[in-house]
């Protein structure tokens, strides 16, 4: 596929008759109708906003989707790369249940501090360990296997994170890679990281994978999911 066929930053926000406003409206409807149980995690989003953190967490319906993936996989130990204010972390902690554990890696101490407070407040404190610093420095010190790995940090390192996710996996482990579409067509280290990880998803015989485009409150993007054979 030619690079100019891929989405780049600032890609047009209207496809056919659907606009990004309509996508957001539908997302809000779906959230209220199908996934209203996310309402009690809204304080985490509010704390992120109040703390001045960027508005780049997964959406409520995406958070519920992650939760369901983890439940379907029977995940008890989850690794997350990219905590931000702990919103996706909370969905994952909810999925592992009271005997489970989530290890989440975050570069920015301020983000980690906001996440720690929110997760404690939401009752997930005992389930979640936040390791602060560049994920590449934390990953070598983790003990696998994890049942699910959610990769959602600096995209330039996606391939490195995927390599670690496989190393810390077991047969059956689910690996989720966020934001695989939005910047795909760029000429940047981030886009290169996304493409390189997707290529491994498609060519590594240990990985059974797919990727989906998504639209919604976060615009046009996508996520990739793999299961380790
Ligand atoms: C998209 S946000 C994560 C959103 C979060 N998963 C959610 O949906 O609620 C990405 C996070 O990765 C963190 N990050 C960026 N580079 C990193 C690195 N090298 N190591 C660990 N975390 C990093 C950022 O500080 C940011 O908090």
Distance (Å, whole) CA 119 – CA 153? 19
Distance in Å, CA 86 to ligand 1 centroid: 10
* Residue 13 pLDDT grade (very low, low, confident, very high; cuts 50, 70, 90): low
Average pLDDT, the chain: 94
By most ligand atoms within 8 Å of CB, the mutation choice from 58, 64, 86, 154 for ligand 1 is: 154
- The phi, psi pair for 78, rounded to 5°, reads -125, 140
DSSP 82: -
**CB-based pocket (< 6 A), ligand 1:** 56-58, 82-84, 87-88, 105-108, 111, 134-135, 152-154
pTM, two decimal places? 0.94
- The phi, psi pair for 102, rounded to 5°, reads -125, 125
pLDDT of residue 73: 98
| pLDDT tens-place string over residues 136-167 | 999 999 999 999 999 999 999 999 999 999 99
Distance in Å, CA 153 to ligand 1 centroid: 4
| pLDDT tens-place string over residues 90-101 | 999 999 999 999
pLDDT of residue 12: 47
At residue 8, the 3 state secondary structure works out as: coil
| pLDDT tens-place string over residues 165-222 | 999 999 999 999 999 999 998 999 999 999 999 999 999 999 999 999 999 999 999 9
Q: Which atom of ligand 1 is nearest to the CA of 86?
A: 9
The residue among 219, 223, 198, 168 whose CA lies nearest residue 9 is 219
């Amino acid at each position: 596929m030619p690079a100019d066929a891929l989405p780049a930053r600032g890609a047009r926000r209207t496809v056919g008759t659907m606009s990004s406003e309509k996508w957001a409206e539908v997302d809000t409807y779906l959230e209220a109708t199908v996934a209203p149980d996310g309402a009690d995690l809204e304080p985490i989003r509010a704390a992120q906003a109040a703390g001045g953190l960027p508005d780049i967490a997964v959406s409520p319906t995406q958070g519920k989707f992650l939760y369901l993936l983890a439940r379907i996989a029977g995940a008890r130990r989850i690794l997350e790369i990219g905590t931000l204010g702990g919103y996706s972390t909370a969905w994952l902690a909810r999925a592992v249940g009271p005997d489970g554990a989530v290890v989440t890696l975050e570069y920015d101490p301020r983000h980690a501090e906001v996440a720690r407070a929110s997760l404690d407040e939401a009752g997930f404190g005992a389930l979640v360990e936040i390791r602060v610093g560049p994920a590449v420095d934390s990953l070598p010190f983790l003990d696998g296997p994890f049942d699910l790995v959610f990769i959602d940090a600096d995209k330039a390192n996606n391939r490195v994170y995927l390599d670690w996710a496989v190393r810390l996996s077991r047969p059956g482990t689910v690996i989720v890679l966020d934001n695989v579409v939005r910047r795909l067509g760029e000429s940047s280290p981030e886009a290169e990281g996304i493409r390189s990880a997707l290529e491994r998803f498609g060519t590594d015989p240990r990985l059974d994978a797919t990727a989906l485009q998504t639209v919604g409150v976060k615009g046009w993007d996508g996520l990739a999911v793999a299961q380790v054979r």
